Every structure is written in structure tokens, then in C-alpha cells.
């Protein structure tokens, strides 16, 4: 069947009502940069679609030491905030200008690897995702628990992502996306790091990787290597080796799994060296 209904709710409440009524047969999209290509090509043939562009979820605001970003905030809008430079850096490497004008922060959580260049930064920043449903109201979930597999998340069929809560980082950040071209390119590997160093020792480390797993992942063992150690060349080299060992790279048209693993080591090292200064 061709698309029978396209809903364009004017508020979150309307959106949740529509979702409660039509889920799971309702395809939800925001910027359309993931869903529309599949629909245009006939790969996805939904009967009912809901667009969130008018649902009023596109605000960015500071709440004490947290940046609260509405789910349909466009990537271009996100680039205008200056509280967290790593997010600006991440956005700069996503798609082209037009895609950044359309794609949204919430939508990027659903972009399968090697896409998802923003989600990996959010993971390194230890963001929390806010979900809402008509029946059960709101719940907050650490982003690490949101991703459950390749193109699979903890989102229930009657839930929407409404916002991301991003704590302002305490330490130094580094973001490197390595692709085959400088711009508008799928990633071979993306590395986002947030490291807190006090009195010469790493007290906290968040290291997130993308394009080397079923979804954006944290490199937990590499983080373990960093925590409590001095941030020097030896520590960094060991952390980079651990990250390369623990990631789960895949082969696609962009790169082989072998190459992705090798580059994971190289770019984790470079990201941490930038933090070391």
C-alpha cells in the first residue's frame, strides 16, 4: 500500500496521542534523512508516517550544568551552541550542509553505523536520553543502555525520544572522524574521548567509538587502562591497543574489518594525544 496517512503533529502531546493510537504501524521520522531515502527507493513501504518537524521539540537550553537538547533540534541548530565544543566538531563532520539542516539530534541515535557521528560524541559525554509515552509518561535512560544492537534500541513501540541531557564536561575532549574523504563521508572509525586529569592522573575517562561495532560503543577496557594512570605515551599506547582489541569492526564498501581495527588503534592514540597536549 502506498502511504495512506502522513501526520504532522503540532505538539509532543499530539505526537504521543498519534503514536499511542497507531503504533507499531506508524513510522516516525524527524528530519527524514534516514526514512525518506528508503521510502523513495521503495525499500520501506509504510502505510502511516509521522513527521516530528512541527512538534516543538527543537529547543536547546542550559539547566545548571546540563545542556538540554530537544530531540528534533537540527544538527545546524546544535552547531550554534557553544557550551560543548566537541558537539560542534562532531556536527561539522556529518553529511553536507543540507543534511545538517534537516537531520536531527534525536534522529542521529537511529543512524546505523558507519553513520551516527553525533551519537558517538554523546556517548563520550555520558548523555542521558529522555523517552516519553502516553501511557507511562517520561523515563530517562543513560545512552549506553539505549543502544541494544544493530539498528536496535531500548525504545518501546509507543515511545518517542524527546530530549538529550548532556552534562557539561569536566575534562578535556577530543573528537576525530576518519573517513575516505575530508567531508560528507561515511566513517572508517570515529573516536570521541572525554578525559578528566587531576594531579597528573586520569580520574575519569569516557572513550566512545563508532563504525567499529553494531552501534556507537564505549571502549570500556581502554577506559580501564586510562583510569588511575598518568596520561603519558605508554598509557595512551596501551589504551589504543585495548580499544582496537575490544571493538567489533565490520567490512563494508568503505573499509574492511581489518583496516577498521588498525585505524581504531591509530585514531584512539591520536585522540588521546590531543588531550595530553
Partner 1 sequence: MSEVASAVASEVKETFHVVGKSVPRRDGIGHVTGKTVYVDDISFPGMLHLKMVRSPIHHGIIRNVDFSEAEKVPGFVRVLTHRDVPKNLYTILCLIGVGPDEEPVLAVDRVLYKGEPIAAIVAETEEAAMEAVSRVRLDLEELPAVFDVEEALKPDAPILKPWGTNYFIYEGHPCRRVRFGDVEKGFAQADYIIEEVYNTSPIEHAPTETTACVAKPEPDGRYTVYTNTQALFFTMDNTALILQVPFSKLHFVGGTVGGGFGGKVDVIVEPIATLAAMKTGRPVKFKYTREEEMRVSSTRSAWRMYFKDGVMKDGRIIARKVISYADSGAYNRHTPYVITKHAANVAGPYFIPNVYIDVYCVYTNRQPASAMRGFGVTPASFAVECQMDKIAETIGMDPWEIRFINAYRNGDMRPHQKVVEDATLIEVMKAAAELAGHPLPEHLLKMHSWDRERA
Partner 2 sequence: MASRIVTFNLNGRDVEVMVKPLTTLQTVLREHLRLTATKSGCRQGGCGSCTVLVNGEPVLSCLLPVEDVAGQTVVTLEGITPVEGLHPIQQAFFDNYAIQCGYCSPGMIMVIKALLDRNPNPTRQEVMDAIAGNVCRCTGYESILRAAEDAARRLQTV
- Structure-block grid coordinates of residue 39: 521510502
Over the window 144 to 183, marking each residue x when it contacts partner 1 by CB under 8 A and - when it does not, the resulting string is ----------------------------------------
Asked if 42 is part of the footprint of partner 1 (rule: CB under 8 A), the reply reads: yes
With respect to partner 2, which residue has the nearer C-beta, 186 or 249? 186
Asked if 96 is part of the footprint of partner 1 (rule: CB under 8 A), the reply reads: no
Residues 6+ apart with CB under 8 A from 21: none
Binding test (CB under 8 A) with partner 2, winner from 68, 99, 156, 254:
99
Over the window 3 to 32, marking each residue x when it contacts partner 2 by CB under 8 A and - when it does not, the resulting string is xxxx-x----------------------xx
Which listed option, partner 2, partner 1, none, makes contact with residue 179 (CB within 5 to 8 Å by class)? none
Is-contact 172 197, C-beta < 8 A?
Answer: yes
Asked if 59 is part of the footprint of partner 2 (rule: CB under 8 A), the reply reads: no
Asked if 45 is part of the footprint of partner 1 (rule: CB under 8 A), the reply reads: yes
In this structure, the number of other CB atoms found within 10 A of the CB of residue 182 comes to 7
Residues that contact partner 2, how many (by CB under 8 A): 28
Residues that contact partner 1, how many (by CB under 8 A): 7
Asked if 51 is part of the footprint of partner 2 (rule: CB under 8 A), the reply reads: yes
Smallest gap from residue 200 Cβ to partner 1 (A) = 50
Residues 6+ apart with CB under 8 A from 124: 86, 173, 175, 192, 193, 194, 206, 207, 208
Asked if 140 is part of the footprint of partner 2 (rule: CB under 8 A), the reply reads: no
With respect to partner 2, which residue has the nearer C-beta, 179 or 216? 179
Asked if 137 is part of the footprint of partner 1 (rule: CB under 8 A), the reply reads: no
Smallest gap from residue 5 Cβ to partner 2 (A) = 6
Asked if 54 is part of the footprint of partner 2 (rule: CB under 8 A), the reply reads: yes
| Site residues, partner 1 (CB under 8 A) | 1-2, 40-43, 45
| Site residues, partner 2 (CB under 8 A) | 2-6, 8, 31-33, 36-37, 39-41, 49, 51, 53-54, 76, 95-99, 101-102, 183-184
Amino acid at each position: 500500500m502506498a502511504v495512506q496517512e502522513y501526520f504532522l503533529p503540532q505538539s509532543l502531546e499530539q505526537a504521543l496521542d498519534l503514536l499511542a493510537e497507531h503504533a507499531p504501524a506508524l513510522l516516525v521520522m524527524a528530519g527524514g534523512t534516514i526514512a525518506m531515502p528508503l521510502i523513495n527507493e521503495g525499500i520501506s513501504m509504510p502505510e502511516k508516517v509521522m513527521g516530528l518537524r512541527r512538534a516543538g521539540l527543537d529547543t536547546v537550553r542550559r539547566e545548571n550544568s546540563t545542556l538540554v537538547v530537544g530531540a528534533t533540534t537540527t544538527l545546524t541548530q546544535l552547531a550554534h551552541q557553544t557550551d560543548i565544543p566537541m558537539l560542534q566538531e562532531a556536527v561539522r563532520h556529518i553529511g553536507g550542509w543540507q543534511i545538517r539542516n534537516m537531520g536531527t539530534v534525536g534522529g542521529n541515535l537511529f543512524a546505523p553505523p558507519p553513520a551516527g557521528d553525533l551519537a558517538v560524541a554523546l556517548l563520550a559525554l555520558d548523555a542521558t536520553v529522555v523517552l516519553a509515552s502516553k501511557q507511562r509518561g517520561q523515563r530517562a535512560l543513560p545512552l549506553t543502555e539505549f543502544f541494544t544492537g544493530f539498528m536496535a534500541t531500548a525504545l518501546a513501540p509507543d515511545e518517542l525520544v524527546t530530549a538529550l541531557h548532556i552534562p557539561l564536561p569536566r575534562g578535556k575532549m577530543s573528537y576525530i572522524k576518519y573517513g575516505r574523504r575530508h567531508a560528507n563521508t561515511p566513517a572508517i572509525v570515529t573516536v570521541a574521548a572525554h578525559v578528566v586529569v587531576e594531579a597528573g592522573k586520569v580520574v575519569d575517562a569516557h572513550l566512545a567509538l563508532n563504525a567499529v561495532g553494531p552501534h556507537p560503543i564505549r571502549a570500556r577496557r581502554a577506559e580501564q587502562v586510562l583510569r588511575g594512570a598518568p596520561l603519558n605515551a605508554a598509557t595512551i599506547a596501551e589504551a589504543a591497543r585495548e580499544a582496537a582489541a575490544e571493538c567489533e569492526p565490520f567490512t563494508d564498501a568503505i573499509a574492511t574489518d581489518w583496516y577498521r581495527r588498525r585505524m581504531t588503534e591509530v585514531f584512539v592514540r591520536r585522540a588521546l594525544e590531543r588531550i595530553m597536549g
